[in-house]
């Protein structure tokens, strides 16, 4: 639940260097930084291999420009519907971050709304062009001699 997560993060925020708090540990507020630090705890980041793995890791709030045009994948093992029982409470990282001082939740939600509208328009256009392409392929009539050539080449 959000309440329990808030208590845990407040407990984590309380930890600091007594002599000089600027020496760390540092408590990031942005969701991408929280995820990055969580993953860093799972990786041997003090070895060259772990450091290289962390360099390859990219975390973002929302979906920024170069990646909004890429095909996205669903990881079934990470779906909330499959992982959590219906009566269990959960919390979103963006809500927790905004409680602890992250100021960009409204901005990200507005930008994501715009991106989803553009993505929906692109998807509809793509589906209509694919349908038209399939229909035109079905309409095409191939002559008998062309059909023999296609069969010889392994098509048809």
pLDDT tens for residues 93-143?
A: 999 999 999 999 999 999 999 999 999 999 999 999 999 999 998 888 888
pTM: 0.80
Hunting for tokens 């540092």 — which residue is that?
A: 26
Q: Name every residue whose Cβ is closer than 8 Å to that of residue 18 and which is 6 or more positions away in sequence.
A: none
pLDDT tens for 18-73 read: 999 999 999 999 999 999 999 999 999 999 999 999 999 999 999 998 998 888 89
What pLDDT is recorded for position 22?
94
Hunting for tokens 């291999």 — which residue is that?
A: 49
Q: What angle do CA 51, 68, 76 make, to 5 degrees?
A: 70
Tokens standing for residue 117: 């509208």
């Amino acid at each position: 639940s959000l309440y329990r997560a808030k208590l845990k993060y407040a407990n984590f925020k309380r930890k600091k260097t007594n002599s000089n708090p600027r020496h760390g540990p540092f408590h990031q507020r942005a969701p991408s930084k929280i995820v990055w630090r969580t993953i860093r705890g799972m990786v041997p980041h003090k070895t060259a291999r772990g450091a290289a793995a962390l360099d390859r890791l990219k975390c973002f709030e929302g979906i920024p420009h170069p990646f909004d045009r890429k095909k996205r994948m669903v990881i079934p093992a990470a779906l909330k519907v499959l992982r959590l029982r219906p009566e269990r409470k959960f919390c979103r990282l963006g809500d927790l971050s905004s409680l602890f001082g992250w100021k960009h939740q409204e901005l990200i939600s507005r930008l994501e709304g715009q991106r989803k509208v553009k993505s929906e328009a692109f998807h509809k256009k793509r589906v209509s062009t694919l349908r038209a392409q399939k229909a035109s392929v079905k309409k095409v009539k191939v002559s008998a001699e062309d059909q023999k050539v296609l069969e010889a080449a392994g098509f048809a």
